[in-house]
């Protein structure tokens, strides 16, 4: 074999052939709890803002036009209203007949007793966990730690990859869930904080092929129509 037209192994950076399971993680649109500064667990989340609905609509219009996701075989959301509503708005751009499966393992970090509080109320009542030194500390009583959040999300990804071998699956989730998924791409420690700026209704796509994990896209967002 010669390398006149192809680089040798280890140098090629583009491969259009999918070999494993592709998880497309879509962050929900702007939520009321985000806009109001509330901690949005099951109590604090009341769904999307008008802007959040517009963001989801813009992405749906893009997917209707491009039909990028016509090969998607399954759709999952977290159990929180902002994710469920986003998935409903994206339906026109996904294959007909997909039924969204709500899965609590895809939720944002479980806030426990901090749920529904403003961030100032949270700080006044519980203080700020020192995750830089101990990421196993819960956010609040009955809440989740940063490493516990990582373990939950990682187990969920592994389960979905095993359930859908070689398929493309859409997950409508949260910024924190995207961050946990990105750790497998970047090969960092479970307790690390990546401090990503994952935008609302952006798409992150990761391919899982045995021990190989490959990032296909991150923060891919459809622009809102001009006013």
Which one is catalytic: 30, 32, 108, 207? 108
Is 61 noted as a catalytic residue in this protein?
no
Q: Count the domains in the chain.
A: 1
The enclosing domain of 60 has a CATH number of 3.40.50.1240
Q: What range does the domain containing 63 cover?
A: 21-220
In the residue annotation, 28 being an active-site residue is answered as yes
The C-alpha atoms of residue 22 and residue 37 are separated, in whole angstroms, by: 33
Note the pLDDT tens digit of each residue in 23-71. 999 999 999 999 999 999 999 999 999 999 999 999 999 999 999 999 9
User: Does residue 124 fall inside a structural domain?
Assistant: yes
Please give the pLDDT value at position 187. 84
pTM: 0.92
The tens digit of pLDDT for each residue in 165-183 reads 999 999 999 999 999 999 9
12: Cα separation from own chain's centroid = 28
The pLDDT value recorded for residue 46 is 97
């Amino acid at each position: 074999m010669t390398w006149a037209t192809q680089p040798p192994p280890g140098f090629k950076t583009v491969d259009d052939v999918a070999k494993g399971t592709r998880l497309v993680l879509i962050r929900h649109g702007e939520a009321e709890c985000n806009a109001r500064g509330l901690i949005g667990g099951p109590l604090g989340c009341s769904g999307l803002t008008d802007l959040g609905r517009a963001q989801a609509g813009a992405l749906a219009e893009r997917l209707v036009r491009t039909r990028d996701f016509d090969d998607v075989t399954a759709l999952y959301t977290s159990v929180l209203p902002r994710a469920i509503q986003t998935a409903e708005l994206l339906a026109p751009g996904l294959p007909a007949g997909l039924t969204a499966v709500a899965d609590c393992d895809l939720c944002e970090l479980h806030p426990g007793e901090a749920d529904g509080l403003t961030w100032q109320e949270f700080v006044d009542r519980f203080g700020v966990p020192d995750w830089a030194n101990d990421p196993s500390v819960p956010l609040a009583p009955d809440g989740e730690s940063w490493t516990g959040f990582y373990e939950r999300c990682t187990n969920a990804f592994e389960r979905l990859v095993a359930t859908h071998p070689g398929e493309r699956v859409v997950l409508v989730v949260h910024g924190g869930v995207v961050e946990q998924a990105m750790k497998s791409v970047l090969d960092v420690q479970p307790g690390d904080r990546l401090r990503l700026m994952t935008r609302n209704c952006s798409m992150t796509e990761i391919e899982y092929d045995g021990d190989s994990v490959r990032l296909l896209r991150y923060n891919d967002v459809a622009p809102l129509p001009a006013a």
